Structure 1
């Protein structure tokens, strides 16, 4: 217990702890003591009790994918009767709707389409920037970059440079899943290794494109592998400083080949958040995923070191198609933050605070701003593959 207390105190004060010490905290530290240390760390890093959120829209340009990840309920194989591609006009229409509802960011993501190379993404990003120059494109991930490079037979560095020039502002942490070799091969044997995912992130950071980092937990990975995932991210952050935030989320078990229930309890998820806050002395922001763990656990996470409550996603199809049914209105999300004894504030992609809602009288009032549950799934009535 003395060793745990020493590690907690050192980490809360901003000291660097080892992966072994992080695993000790994750598996053995008393829950409330761990949470308290993480919250001290949050206050030291953030400096106040403001919790941010963002308004954005996840727009999927295709569900056709050759990677066939076992946890994914969204993709369809090439030539599948339920496969589809959105036209550029439809993508731009959805961007326009998002802007009208106050979105500042769009996430353009989709499957690894066998015909979509760098040229496709150049056309996509440049069209969005042409019509909506103020809309931040926080999109795709290293897996898409690896795929487009292969399709177009160009190097990773060239792909990054070209899509950045076309308008990509920021890279999403998509495709991380689990970075350690054993669980990654079990989940996505056709996807690039975790080390390659991180190498692509590092190349992007070196070209001036910052990103987020994510983790999907709950598919049977061990506590050690969860902490190893954090270590791999922190090692890159030591060199680049390009990760703005860390966002863990839980596997959703419907309509995919893994099936079974999520193998991560709410307590495990909350403990992981607190451990991440103490381990990531060099990553400023920590975001919880109320979409996957639910609003109650999401609200509790604000006392576990979290300073960002994620987004009101005007559209989300990928996680929703696997069973995530948690949706929210903007007013409800703000109330969850406020009743957790935090001050809500809308942010942009760079975590700059656009509007701080000091009192309820400051709260925006627009009932149109609400998160959708898998509009595509509803439209197409997608069934288990």
Structure 2
């Protein structure tokens, strides 16, 4: 869809059976910022199509008919973790069954394995290992840069960075500087979960708190490292907790402009201490995408992570505010350990088919959202 057509779509009369949405719609169509109360109202409205219409109008103003994807490879160097988060099925104590830690050579070989098509991004996250020094992770990144100089390294969550800093007796800034100098190009958005202390004390009490997560992201942005941001929803949080989480992200983004993408992550309870909780429904997933797009007016991108919400729901999300569907991934461990039944990877042509069937135009990007041009198994990135 061209920019003109997208703009014309926003001028079609807004219709809803929920009168509470009318003043919110007027704000959205005037380009005004939504409030905390507006966010709660959006969550509680039963008119999902009206919420989606508004979110799609914002999405198309920003991105027209484009839907982004990339060719990436997930690497999880260790699942050994000192934390005991009730939301996690991935982490293991170091002497537990199933615990693993990759030798550096194994991690580099893992990066090289997979599909024949060249990846543009390595996405690296893992557990909080009690014995691995910071130098292990610096060497890991240096080795990847030496072997794959053209690949962007998106590595280590704010939680991992804070853990590295504490173990190395360095400041957050010094730790991030060392990671950047070793070859880290940007940071993923994981570990944010829900910022509300009430919730965080129950689901991930061993992690840094919400303010520390935000401060770490702020410092990364000040050093020139872009990052993503996430929110884990569908467990014990409420609508107010979700809105609070996003507005705190929005406030930091006003300061730094360092967040690239917001990624809502549906909680998968299987094999966790919270497995008695039900999974999110498709309606909840779709509404979360829409509310995210409407509240996070200063975030360039909203991602429908197909690994978490299934490819089918991700397709629909491209019409409810999402402009990005993530990437090929190749091998994903963290959410599959928690019971995800989606494929562990997807080929580029399959992602393109999903996007086209949703009525969108596929746009292969690198991590910084620059155009990737393919020639057989090689690629070039627009600068």
Fold similarity call, TM over 0.5: yes
Structure 2 gap ranges (5+) = 1-17, 378-383
Contact kept? 2:269, 2:275, Cα under 8 Å: yes
Could you tell me how far apart the structure 1 residues matched to 2:361 and 2:233 are?
29
Post-superposition shift, 1:303? 0.7
Post-superposition shift, 1:255? 1.4
Post-superposition shift, 1:3? 4.8
- The answer for the alignment partner of 2:62 in structure 1 is 45
Which deviates the most, 2-11 or 145-154?
A: 2-11
- The answer for the alignment partner of 1:333 in structure 2 is 351
1:34 to 43, 51, 59: 51
Could you tell me how far apart the structure 2 residues matched to 1:59 and 1:101 are?
17
* Secondary structure, counterpart of 1:344 in structure 2: strand
Q: For 1:230-277, what per-residue CA distance to the aligned partner results, in whole angstroms no more than 9, with x for missing partners?
A: 111111111111000100011112212111244432112211111111
Post-superposition shift, 1:69? 1.1
1:170-185 map, 5 Å: 170-185=186-201
Contact kept? 2:115, 2:330, Cα under 8 Å: no
Could you tell me how far apart the structure 2 residues matched to 1:266 and 1:99 are?
30
Could you tell me how far apart the structure 2 residues matched to 1:116 and 1:7 are?
50
Post-superposition shift, 1:28? 1.7
1:303-322 map, 5 Å: 303-322=319-338
Residues 1:245 and 2:292 aligned together: no
Change (3 A) 1:355 1:32: farther
* Secondary structure, counterpart of 2:153 in structure 1: strand
Could you tell me how far apart the structure 2 residues matched to 1:334 and 1:365 are?
16
Could you tell me how far apart the structure 2 residues matched to 1:273 and 1:226 are?
12
Q: For 1:304-350, what per-residue CA distance to the aligned partner results, in whole angstroms no more than 9, with x for missing partners?
A: 01110111111111111111111244333221211111111211101
Contact kept? 1:117, 1:149, Cα under 8 Å: no
Could you tell me how far apart the structure 1 residues matched to 2:175 and 2:376 are?
42
- The answer for the alignment partner of 2:129 in structure 1 is 113
TM-score normalised by L of structure 2: 0.89
* Secondary structure, counterpart of 2:334 in structure 1: coil
- The answer for the alignment partner of 1:255 in structure 2 is 271
1:169 to 173, 185, 198: 185
Could you tell me how far apart the structure 1 residues matched to 2:29 and 2:290 are?
10
Q: For 1:30-71, what per-residue CA distance to the aligned partner results, in whole angstroms no more than 9, with x for missing partners?
A: 21111111111011112x201011111111111110011111
TM-score normalised by L of structure 1: 0.89
Q: Which runs of 4+ in 1 moved over 3 A?
A: none
Contact kept? 2:268, 2:279, Cα under 8 Å: no
Q: For 1:94-116, what per-residue CA distance to the aligned partner results, in whole angstroms no more than 9, with x for missing partners?
A: 22225842210001211100122
Which deviates the most, 118-127 or 65-74?
A: 118-127
Contact kept? 1:181, 1:194, Cα under 8 Å: yes
Structure 1 gap ranges (5+) = 357-363, 367-385
Post-superposition shift, 1:365? 9.2
- The answer for the alignment partner of 2:39 in structure 1 is 22
1:1-385 map, 5 Å: 1-28=18-45, 30-46=47-63, 48-97=64-113, 100-327=116-343, 328-355=346-373
* Secondary structure, counterpart of 1:215 in structure 2: strand
Contact kept? 1:117, 1:147, Cα under 8 Å: no
Change (3 A) 1:143 1:306: same
Contact kept? 1:99, 1:135, Cα under 8 Å: no
Post-superposition shift, 1:13? 4.0
Contact kept? 1:273, 1:305, Cα under 8 Å: yes
RMSD: 1.8
* Secondary structure, counterpart of 2:304 in structure 1: coil
How many aligned positions are there? 358
Could you tell me how far apart the structure 2 residues matched to 1:12 and 1:121 are?
46
- The answer for the alignment partner of 1:361 in structure 2 is none
Post-superposition shift, 1:72? 1.1
